[in-house]
Amino acid sequence: MHTIALRFLAWMLLIFAAEATASLSAQTAQQTTAKQTSAVSASPVAKPPAKSDGAPAPTRAAMLRGAYGPYRANNDLLYYHLDIRVDPEKQFLSGKNTIRFKMLRDGARIQLDLRDSLTIDKILWNATPLKYQRDTGAVFVDFPRTLRAGQVYSIDFYYSGHPDEYGRFGDITFKKDAAGHPWINTACEGDGASMWWPNKDQWRDEVENMDISVAIPNELVDVSNGKLVGKTDLGDGYTRWDWHVSYPINNYDVSLNIGSYVHFADKLGDLPLDFYVLPEELEKAKVQFAQAKGMLEAYQHYFGPYPFARDGYKLIEAPYTGMEHQSAVTYGNLFKNGYMGRDWTGVGISPRFDFIIIHESGHEWFGNSITAADPSDMWIHEGWTTYLESLYVEYRWGKNDAIKYLGGLKPKVENLRPIVAERGVNAEPDEDQYFKGALMINTLRSVVNDDAKWWPLLHNFYQHFKYQNILTGDVVTYFNQQTGMNLTPVFDQYLRHAHIPRLELLFGEAPGMVMYKWNADESSFAMPVRVGAPGHWQIIYPTTEWQWMQTPLTKEQFQVATDLYYVDVNKQ
């Protein structure tokens, strides 16, 4: 102990020297500015960039779309009936959305949304036309008298026009398939459902259920969300397809898929599985879509029954890669494994399964059933669903392959900005929400360090929040309560700062001892981590203050389990 104490004293001096050097090189790093990598790195952790460095100032349209203002907060959505006609040749929509809502406060005005490219034909309250004011995508609807808190009201919002094609998947696209038939699809997450239909276009509030009626030329098929109620020949060359959604649904999940679809079906227990593809893809689809069953079995194993059993599960071919439309997942992954035929995480595991079937369907649990209440907290959709990919791998091929799959995500992480974006301005986080989000959840599993606790924790977390719209704080509170740990600084470091924690290791000249601490933005950051030698890991409990431990390992031999914890390591 005597020599150890002496060495300890000597090291304290070393640390002061090391910290002085680190702070000097941090300044240099900020001047030369290098991209922070997720790999084990000896470069110092620079301060995260200020919010204003990364994100542009929100536009008025983004603020109107993103804020849960007084004319949204004064009411609670109950029901939509979207009842429209789609003319493929004119690329024209017309019809109405019946919107039923309960007032939560007395008021004579509510906020709805519809993009300026579409015309408002009229808004009726029973037979009374309502006045309205349009403002860059928002529609403020005024009533002739005060609506009373607790009362339920219904309006019919008539609209028409040529919607704009915009964004990654076009929001709504009027295409032709290879045979020259119309192929019309929606995918509007981000830009918002008000790109093509009038609604209360935000994430916090959802209708309890919904009807979708779509009139299209007789020879076409519409596949929307929910259960097919029936179709009616309108006698004018058009047929109306009626779908009923019997669960809460996000606006951006509401979808049209209009084409020359052919249908085939299967069942998983009592759950109807319905598949819609273009005729020329039928044989390929019958092979590829068989993966849906194994996917459902895996997710049901971890989280409980498929969330939308009454509506069934559907997989629908679309002209873009894919989207998690509730109970009507769209698919455009070339009927190949991996992502568009590529090894998605580059470690040889992704080619075993169809990335789009596994990822987009995972959103039925995280994204559609549990929904973020603001796009700022979208990691609740994407971080969790990316983690679900690894659960699918674990269910099929075991933990080692799951950890390997997750490790393949690391090169995709940029660590340039926090995962949680600015709230209330319709700000979508960077792609780090996917990969870093999943790596953080895997880190939490190692922190809990007991799979007998981890699996029930995941299951109960999902069950506790299913069909709800939640924020990051809800997740953190739940995990803190259920684990009895204070995980707040851990969540905050990964979600609210650009950089991941770095384990500082300081070795003496002779073997026998190592000093350690976390370098993190969260001053109270504390997280156990496995160190030492693989197969003989030892758990230490570093904080942001220096501690020390004895070790028989040399600096070169001493390792950190970075496949189980997403952290940087700096050995000195």
Residues in region 185-224 near Zn ion by CB under 5 A: none
Q: At its nearest, how many Å lie between Zn ion and the CB of residue 268?
A: 22
Please count the residues of this chain forming the interface with Zn ion, following the rule CB under 5 A.
2
Q: Given the complex with Zn ion, which of 82 and 254 has the nearer CB atom?
A: 254
Residue 294 has which token pair?
């194994």
Q: Given the complex with Zn ion, which of 243 and 405 has the nearer CB atom?
A: 405
Q: In degrees rounded to 5, what are phi and psi of residue 142? A: -110, 135
531 pairs with which residues across the strands?
538, 560
Assess contact for 457 and 484: CB atoms under 8 A: no
* Region label for 312, one of left (φ > 0), alpha (ψ between -120 and 50) or beta (otherwise): left
Q: At its nearest, how many Å lie between Zn ion and the CB of residue 363?
A: 6
Q: For the chain, give the longest Cα–Cα distance.
A: 97
Q: Given the complex with Zn ion, which of 331 and 516 has the nearer CB atom?
A: 331
Q: At its nearest, how many Å lie between Zn ion and the CB of residue 399?
A: 23
Helix (H) or strand (E) holding 273: strand 271-277
Q: Given the complex with Zn ion, which of 365 and 494 has the nearer CB atom?
A: 365
Q: At its nearest, how many Å lie between Zn ion and the CB of residue 259?
A: 23
In angstroms, the CA 198 to CA 189 distance is: 15
Q: Given the complex with Zn ion, which of 440 and 505 has the nearer CB atom?
A: 440
Q: Given the complex with Zn ion, which of 138 and 420 has the nearer CB atom?
A: 420
DSSP secondary-structure letter at 312? Answer: -
Q: At its nearest, how many Å lie between Zn ion and the CB of residue 366?
A: 9
Q: At its nearest, how many Å lie between Zn ion and the CB of residue 388?
A: 10
Q: At its nearest, how many Å lie between Zn ion and the CB of residue 354?
A: 14
85 pairs with which residues across the strands?
94, 215
In angstroms, the CA 484 to CA 523 distance is: 20
One-character DSSP codes across 350-377: GGGSBHHHHHHHHTTTBTTTBEESSGGG
Q: What is the number of other CB atoms lying within 10 angstroms of the CB of residue 79?
A: 16
Q: What is the number of other CB atoms lying within 10 angstroms of the CB of residue 145?
A: 8
Q: At its nearest, how many Å lie between Zn ion and the CB of residue 187?
A: 12
In angstroms, the CA 353 to CA 355 distance is: 6
Q: At its nearest, how many Å lie between Zn ion and the CB of residue 527?
A: 27
Q: Given the complex with Zn ion, which of 382 and 432 has the nearer CB atom?
A: 382
Helix (H) or strand (E) holding 420: none
Q: At its nearest, how many Å lie between Zn ion and the CB of residue 359?
A: 6
Q: Given the complex with Zn ion, which of 189 and 521 has the nearer CB atom?
A: 189
Q: Given the complex with Zn ion, which of 86 and 470 has the nearer CB atom?
A: 470
Sort 531 into a burial class: Cβ within 10 Å, 0-12 / 13-18 / 19+.
Answer: buried
Residues in region 361-390 near Zn ion by CB under 5 A: 382, 385
Assess contact for 444 and 387: CB atoms under 8 A: no
Name 274's Cβ contacts closer than 8 Å, sequence gap at least 6.
Answer: 263, 264, 265, 312, 313, 314, 315
Q: At its nearest, how many Å lie between Zn ion and the CB of residue 298?
A: 17
Assess contact for 503 and 564: CB atoms under 8 A: no
In angstroms, the CA 72 to CA 343 distance is: 44
Q: Given the complex with Zn ion, which of 382 and 394 has the nearer CB atom?
A: 382
Assess contact for 562 and 544: CB atoms under 8 A: no
Site string for Zn ion, 53-72 (x = CB under 5 A): --------------------
Q: Given the complex with Zn ion, which of 291 and 385 has the nearer CB atom?
A: 385
76 pairs with which residues across the strands?
102
Closest C-alpha among 427, 373, 421, 430 to residue 59: 427
Q: Given the complex with Zn ion, which of 206 and 364 has the nearer CB atom?
A: 364
Closest C-alpha among 425, 445, 429 to residue 380: 429
- The full length of the chain comes to 572
Q: Given the complex with Zn ion, which of 113 and 382 has the nearer CB atom?
A: 382
Taking CB atoms within 8 Å and a gap of at least 24, the contacts of 300-303 are 301/395, 302/388, 302/391, 302/395, 302/455, 302/458, 302/459, 303/365, 303/458, 303/459, 303/462, 303/463
Q: At its nearest, how many Å lie between Zn ion and the CB of residue 374?
A: 17
Residue 362 has which token pair?
């995972």
In angstroms, the CA 415 to CA 501 distance is: 11
Q: At its nearest, how many Å lie between Zn ion and the CB of residue 558?
A: 38
Which residues here bind Zn ion, judged by CB under 5 A?
A: 382, 385
